[in-house]
Amino acid sequence: MNRSSKRHAHSLVELMIVLSLLSSLITVSIGWIHQSMKLSKQMNSRQAHQTNLTRLTRMIRDDARTANDASVDGQTLELPSLQVVYQVDGPVIQRTEQIDASTTRTDVFELQPGSRVIWNDTELPKAITLQIKRSSGTPIPSRLPQTNEPSATNSDTTDRNDLHLRMELNRYARFGVKP
């Protein structure tokens, strides 16, 4: 019997090399997929937060422009002429409107965890300011030059402004516009 000089199969070493390369590629691709899913989840969360802030901004601006007066008591903004109350409860702002004697409408605006709501009524009776601040919670590189001192930190963990809104009260009436 003559043996052919052509090989019809692969050696065990060649198969092991191919399998190890394939497993390495699969491991790397799974890491990339996991990272992209994590980033997608973060972006969806940020988008939902921005949508809530946009809704809140639109409603409170319209209310303030229509309201004749406003009062702030701690974490509560009351617009008596419209029978509207904005109440802050943790990471939630709740808007309650008394439509008639038996009907109320409630809107809820969820904020990011760690958000702080600040009502500034120093400009009353003409205007009111709403600030929503959130601590970043994670150090980010500072714009300051690097130092070699161990006590100096090269990070910035200050509060971030998510929303800074100044609303003028009774603006529609002043310009003769009906909402």
| Token digits of residue 23 | 């497993």
Give the containing element (helix H, strand E) for 49.
Answer: helix 12-66
Instruction: Give the sheet arrangement for strand 159-168, strand by strand.
Output: 115-120, 127-135, 159-168
Per-residue pLDDT at 69: 87
- Does residue 1 lie within any of the structural domains? no
Region for 83 from its dihedrals, namely left if φ exceeds 0, alpha if ψ lies in -120 to 50, beta otherwise: left
- Does residue 64 lie within any of the structural domains? yes
Partners of 168 in the β-ladder: 127
- Does residue 5 lie within any of the structural domains? no
Q: Are strands 159-168 and 127-135 parallel, antiparallel or unpaired?
A: antiparallel
Give the containing element (helix H, strand E) for 172.
Answer: helix 171-174
pLDDT exceeds 50 at position 140: no
Of the pLDDT bands very low, low, confident and very high (cuts 50, 70, 90), residue 138 is very low
pLDDT exceeds 60 at position 151: no
Q: What percent of the chain has pLDDT over 90?
A: 43
Of the pLDDT bands very low, low, confident and very high (cuts 50, 70, 90), residue 167 is confident
Q: How many domains does the chain have?
A: 1
Most confident of 14-23, 132-141, 169-178: 14-23
- Does residue 7 lie within any of the structural domains? no
pLDDT exceeds 70 at position 104: yes
Q: What pLDDT digit, counting tens, does each position of 27-38 carry?
A: 999 999 999 999
Q: What is the mean pLDDT of residues 49-71?
A: 91
Per-residue pLDDT at 162: 84
- Does residue 118 lie within any of the structural domains? yes
Task: Name the residue range of residue 163's domain.
Answer: 12-142+152-174
- Does residue 147 lie within any of the structural domains? no
- Does residue 179 lie within any of the structural domains? no
Q: How far apart are CA 29 and CA 92, in angstroms?
A: 39
HSE, side-chain direction, 13 A CA sphere, residue 55: 14
- Does residue 2 lie within any of the structural domains? no
